[in-house]
């Protein structure tokens, strides 16, 4: 790693502290005064306490009970040359246009749940010059083929990390409390599978799924590609974990941007709702870089991709939802935000036993 990337990482991580335990206790104490049996809101109480601890009590935003945005980072992947996806590479480009035309799943969900949607080009292999409604942060026209060479160079990695970091800082400045990370990138489950193997030591056949819908033969081929990429880049647990090297060699530009967003969001005390397999791979790399970021993460859902469960277990995160989704785009995270926002509204709006004149439980 070059000195400049070490500086970038230092800058991204040096202000990260764990969420406030004092605020978490305060939140717990308030939850116990609300008109409900103690603890009866289950996970919603944990989520409310976590967000209060992260935000140190600052919850409301001008746009509602809690400010919330989803970022969909889009990029292409050189590994698509190996036939690892059921969909052609140009679908990344086409889906970005679909996001901008409000036609994709994440558009529908963000609109319904009042979540601000940001579409970010970090590395789509298409010319978006002059296209409105898009965050223009293209680092390259996709990564290189990681089966043959490093997916990106240090400069690209630094730039991609910075894209996510900048957007997180902007979200913080705009009074958001929650940011959700999602992605679009044909070929990126292959990258996430390699990252999962590198971080957890899982064998490729357990960490590699069917992505957007491979048949059995193509699935076997994809497992072989994951195995070969691991060998090519000597990514095994026999030597100390180097998350930046992993990112550089086998990551994606959207994955690096999400890693940057997680680190910067933690530093700006924003809760991060993580979407599916690829987003969780990015979040796991962020935690490998700075373990204190873990307290800022909320696992939105558990996807059908087998590697996702491995990563969630590795991070010791229990997902809010488990609906057998495997779409990406931040869809699971946006659905989870509706649950997290519910938790926050219960926390801020419910009556207390005293205010409502309701009798408490006997000892």
Distances (CA, A) of 351 to 46, 48, 64, 102, 345: 19, 16, 19, 38, 11
Tell me which of 9, 12, 34, 311 binds its own copies, using CB under 8 A: 34
* Listed residue (279, 269, 270) closest to 317, CA to CA: 279
3-state SS, residue 41: coil
DSSP class per residue in 3-32: HHHHHHHHHHHTT--PPPHHHHHHHHHHHT
Residue 341 near its own copies by CB under 8 A: yes
Report the Cα–Cα distance between both ends of the chain, in Å, rounded. Answer: 60
Residue 113 near its own copies by CB under 8 A: yes
Residue 283 near its own copies by CB under 8 A: no
Q: What residues between 195 and 234 interact with its own copies by CB under 8 A?
A: 211-213
Residue 44 near its own copies by CB under 8 A: yes
Residue indicated by tokens 């799943």: 105
Residue 81 near its own copies by CB under 8 A: no
Exactly one of 329, 341, 360, 363 is catalytic; name it.
Answer: 329
Compute how many residues bind its own copies; rule: CB under 8 A. Answer: 62
Tell me if residue 329 is catalytic: yes
Backbone angles phi, psi at 179, to 5 degrees: -120, 135
Give the range of 120-128, 191-199, 287-295, 342-350 binding its own copies by CB under 8 A.
Answer: 342-350
Give the range of 7-15, 235-243, 254-262, 315-323 binding its own copies by CB under 8 A.
Answer: 315-323
Give the range of 3-11, 101-109, 164-172, 226-234 binding its own copies by CB under 8 A.
Answer: 101-109
> Rounded to an integer, what distance in angstroms lies between the CA atom of residue 168 and that of residue 71?
9
> Rounded to an integer, what distance in angstroms lies between the CA atom of residue 54 and that of residue 25?
12
Residue 30 near its own copies by CB under 8 A: no
Give the range of 3-11, 243-251, 252-260, 337-345 binding its own copies by CB under 8 A.
Answer: 337-345
* Cβ closest to its own copies, residue 261 vs residue 339: 339
* Cβ closest to its own copies, residue 265 vs residue 335: 335
Residue 61 near its own copies by CB under 8 A: no
**Backbone conformation region of residue 225, classed left if phi is above 0, alpha if psi is from -120 to 50, else beta:** alpha
Partnered with residue 182 across adjacent β-strands are: 72
> Rounded to an integer, what distance in angstroms lies between the CA atom of residue 33 and that of residue 27?
10
- The helix (run of H) or strand (run of E) holding residue 68 is strand 68-75
* Cβ closest to its own copies, residue 216 vs residue 238: 216
Residue 103 near its own copies by CB under 8 A: yes
Residue 316 near its own copies by CB under 8 A: no
Backbone angles phi, psi at 321, to 5 degrees: -125, 155
> Which residues are catalytic, by number?
329
Residues near its own copies (CB under 8 A) are 34-44, 65, 86-88, 90-91, 94-95, 97-98, 101, 103-105, 107-109, 111-113, 211-213, 304, 320-327, 331, 335, 338-339, 341-342, 345-346, 349-351, 355-362
């Amino acid at each position: 790693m070059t000195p400049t990337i070490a500086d970038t990482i230092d800058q991204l991580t040096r202000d990260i502290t764990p969420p406030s335990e004092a605020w978490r206790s305060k939140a717990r104490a308030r939850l116990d005064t609300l008109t409900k049996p103690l603890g009866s809101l289950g996970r919603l109480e944990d989520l409310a306490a976590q967000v209060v601890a992260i935000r140190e009590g600052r919850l409301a935003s001008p746009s509602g009970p809690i400010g919330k945005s989803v970022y969909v980072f889009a990029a292409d992947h050189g590994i698509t040359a190996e036939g690892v996806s059921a969909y052609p590479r140009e679908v990344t480009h086409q889906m970005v246009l679909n996001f901008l035309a409000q036609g994709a799943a994440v558009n529908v969900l963000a609109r319904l749940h009042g979540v601000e949607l940001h579409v970010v080009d970090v590395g789509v292999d298409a010319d978006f010059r002059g296209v409105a409604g898009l965050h223009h942060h293209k680092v390259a026209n996709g990564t290189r083929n990681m089966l043959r060479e490093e997916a990106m160079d240090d400069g690209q990695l630094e730039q991609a990390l910075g894209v996510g970091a900048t957007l997180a800082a902007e979200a913080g400045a705009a009074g958001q409390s929650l940011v959700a990370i999602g992605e679009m990138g044909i070929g990126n489950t292959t990258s996430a599978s390699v990252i999962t193997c590198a971080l957890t030591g899982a064998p490729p056949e357990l960490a590699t799924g069917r992505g957007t819908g491979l048949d059995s033969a193509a699935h076997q081929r994809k497992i072989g590609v994951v195995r070969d990429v691991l060998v090519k880049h000597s990514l095994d647990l026999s030597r100390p974990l180097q998350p930046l090297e992993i990112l550089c060699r086998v990551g994606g530009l959207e994955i690096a941007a999400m890693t940057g967003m997680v680190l910067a969001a933690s530093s700006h005390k924003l809760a991060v709702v993580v979407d599916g397999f690829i987003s969780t791979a990015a979040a796991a790399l962020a935690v490998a870089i700075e373990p204190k970021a873990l307290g800022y993460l909320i696992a939105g859902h558990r996807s059908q991709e087998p590697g996702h469960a491995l990563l969630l277990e590795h991070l010791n995160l229990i997902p809010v939802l488990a609906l057998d989704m495997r779409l990406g785009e931040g869809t699971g995270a946006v659905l989870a935000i509706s649950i997290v926002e519910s938790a926050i509204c219960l926390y801020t709006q419910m009556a207390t036993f005293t205010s409502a004149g309701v009798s408490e439980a006997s000892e």
